[in-house]
Amino acid sequence: MLFRQRYIGLIDRYKDRLPVHDDTRIISLGEGNTPLIRLNNIPALLQKDVDIYIKYEGLNPTGSFKDRGMTMAVTKAVEEGSKAIICASTGNTSASAAAYASRAGITAFVLIPEGKIALGKLAQAMMHGAVVLQIRGNFDAGMQLVKEVAEHTPVTIVNSINPYRLQGQKTAAFEILEELGASPDYHCIPVGNAGNITAHWMGYSEYHKNGIVNTRPVMVGYQAAGSAPFLRGAMVENPETVATAIRIGHPQSWDKAWNVQKDSSGWFDECTDKVILDAQKMLAEKEGIFCEPASATSLAGAMQDIKTGKIPEGSKIVCTLTGHGLKDPDTAIKQSGGEGSLITIDATLDSVRSAIMDHY
Ligand SMILES: *Cc1c(COP(=O)(O)O)cnc(C)c1O
C-alpha cells in the first residue's frame, strides 16, 4: 500500500518535548523537517578533509528558521487568549509573525528599520496583512520600543525573548541528531540576537541529557564584522553590514550565548561583508544552494576556521543556513554583476547559437 505519513509540523512531531497540551490548538504551516545537505564540492576546493553539512532552514514555510519559533510562540499566544502579537524585526521575524498571525486569525504589528529590510521580507509582511510600522531607527531601537509598548498594551511579544520561540527552535538540533545518528563535532551558526545559537544548544543538551546521544558539538557563532558585539565584548551602537538579518548591536540573548560558548568550549568570530558575500556566491555556484547574505556567515566563518586549522581536518561540521536567498534579490543581483551584465541578443536562431558557442 502506498503510504507516507503526512508531515504536519514540528509541534506535532515533537509534542512530548514541547510545552503544549493534547487539546492545544496548534498554529502550524508545516515548518521544520528541513534538508541536511552534505556539501559535495566546497571541501575539495578548500583542499581539506572535512565533512560539511548544510541545515537548509531557508526551506521553512516563510523562508527562514524563524518559523520554528513562531509556530510555538503564536500557538501559545492564541492559547493564552492573545488577540495581537508584536515584534521588532530585521525582516524575517516580521515575515514569519505576519504569516502565523494570519493563520491564527489575529493581528501582527511589526516594527522594521526604515530602508534596511530586504525586499522579499517586506513583501511578505505586507502581503500577509501585518501592520507594518517603519521606524526611523535600527533594530535595537525597535526592540526597545516593543518591550516598552508591550508593558501597557495587550500584545504578545514574539521576538526571541519570548521563551516559546527558543523551545520551537531547539527542534532543529533534534533533527540534525536524528539524521546524523550522532552529534556533529562543530555547529557553525550566524549570530544576531543569539537566540538561535542558544536554542540549538538547548536541543543538543536535551538529547544528551536524555542519553539519546553521547556528545554535544562545539558551538561556533559568527557575526558580521561591522556588527559584532560578541567580538567587541560590548554592545555596538551603530551596527552596519550587508547581512541585514544580523545587523544587531544589542543582542537580546547576550548572557545565554556566552554560557553556550563556555559550556560547549566554543567561540565567536567575525566575517567581513566581502567574505560573507563570497561564501553566499560560492554556495550558489558550487553547490546549488541559495541563501541570504546573513545565512552565509556560518559557512564563511567555518571556511576561515577550517583554513587555519582551528576546525581540524576529519571534523564533521554542520552549518545552519538561516534564510532563503530569495529574501534579498537586490543583493543577489548586485553581486552577480547587476542586470547590466545580462546577455541581450536578437530573437534569432543564429544569435542564440553563437551565444551558446561563446559560452560553451
Ligand atoms: C534572525 C536571523 C539570524 C539571527 O538569529 P538570532 O537568533 O537573532 O541570532 C540570522 N540569519 C537570519 C537569516 C535571520 O533571519
The per-residue pLDDT for 336 is: 93
Mean pLDDT for the stretch of residues 287-300: 98
Asked whether residue 1 carries a pLDDT value surpassing 80, the answer given is: no
Q: In the structure, what pLDDT confidence band is assigned to residue 7 with cuts at 50, 70 and 90?
A: confident
pLDDT given for residue 167 in this prediction:
98
CA of 190 to the centre of ligand 1 (A): 7
Going from the Cα of 292 to the center of ligand 1, the distance in angstroms, rounded, reads: 11
Instruction: Give the residue, by CA position, lying nearest to ligand 1 atom 2.
Output: 245
Residue whose CB lies within 8 A of the most ligand 1 atoms, among 268, 322, 326, for a mutation test: 322
Q: pLDDT value at position 8?
A: 85
At 127 the pLDDT is 98
Q: Which domains are seen in the chain, by residue range?
A: 10-63+165-335 (3.40.50.1100), 66-162 (3.40.50.1100)
Closest CA to 58 of 86, 83, 92, 25: 92
pLDDT at 203: 98
> How high is the pLDDT of residue 67?
98
pLDDT of residue 351: 97
189, 156 contact by CB (below 8 A): no
The whole-number pLDDT of residue 191 equals 98
Tell me the CA–centroid distance for residue 341 and ligand 1, in Å.
31
For the cut 90, the answer to whether the pLDDT of residue 288 exceeds it is yes
Q: Tell me the average pLDDT across 15-28.
A: 96
Q: What is the mean pLDDT of residues 162-178?
A: 98
Exposed, middle or buried by CB within 10 Å (0-12, 13-18, 19+), for 3?
Answer: exposed
Q: Is the pLDDT of residue 329 over 90?
A: yes
Please name the residue whose Cα sits nearest to atom 14 of ligand 1.
245
Residue nearest atom 8 in ligand 1 by C-alpha distance: 193
**Rounded distance from Cα 213 to ligand 1 centre (Å):** 27
- The whole-number average pLDDT for the span 298-315 is 98
For atom 4 of ligand 1, which residue has the closest CA?
192
Position 2 scores a pLDDT of 76
Ligand 1 centroid to Cα of residue 64, in Å, is 8
Report the pocket of ligand 1 as residue ranges, CB < 6 Å: 64, 66, 92, 160, 190-196, 245-246, 292, 294-295, 322-323
User: Mean pLDDT, the chain, as a whole number?
Assistant: 97
What is the pLDDT, as a whole number, of residue 4? 78
Give the distance (Å) from ligand 1 centre to CA of residue 200.
Answer: 13
